[in-house]
Amino acid sequence: MRLSLAEVVGIHRARGLPALNTKVDGIVDMIVREQDTGRVVQHLHQKNMVTEAFRQYWFTLSSMAGGNVGIWLSELSDTWNAFRTLERFYLLGTVFQTTSLTTTPSTLTWLYQTTFSAPSGTRTINSIGLGRSTTAPTGNAKVVSGIMAATILGTPIVQTNTQTLEVNYRLLLSRT
């Protein structure tokens, strides 16, 4: 069962509870594995920034279904701010992939997951995020819009043509 932030706040109000002061946090886990053995080569666990665009999507939409949201990868390490909504990148291979979504209403957690297959050559990933859509390539660039969460990786991920990249993106609603 998927609940939007608006539904959670509505349930809270309907029960006559005090005002619900909320914040949304994001945590991303990235696991690089050898595709033939499954051996973990690199594992990063990192907090990320949730954008204002996502706060608006989450509050107003009743469905943040996995098919509507994708995880994107970028070689760029630009500074992020909460009002940025576009990213352009030039990485090899698939850089935007739709996700599956698992919700846990009791803990107010939304988990977006996907696995990127091995690219045709080695690529270095410096940032990762959640977005709403991607556009056709512009020259050599690909563009994602509707960015909802993003992070600059503390340690870049280097993915070779023999490795897969599993991404688990958790968003948590909590009281402040």
**pLDDT, tens digit, for every residue of 23-65?**
777 889 999 999 999 999 999 998 887 777 666 666 555 445 5
| Domain-embedded: residue 32 | yes
E-only strand ranges, 37-148: 40-50, 70-74, 86-89, 96-98, 100-104, 109-116, 123-131, 133-138, 141-145
> Would 138 be classed as within a structural domain?
yes
Full domain range(s) for residue 76: 5-12+23-174
Q: Does residue 162 register a pLDDT over 70? A: yes
What's the average model confidence in pLDDT over 168-172? Answer: 85
Please check whether residue 17 lies inside any domain of the structure. no
What are the beta bridge partners of residue 133?
A: 145
Is 137 a domain residue?
Answer: yes
Counting the structural domains of the chain, the total is 1
Tell me how far apart the alpha carbons of residues 102 and 105 are, in angstroms, rounded to a whole number. Answer: 10
Predicted TM-score of the model (pTM): 0.75
- Decide if 18 is inside a domain: no
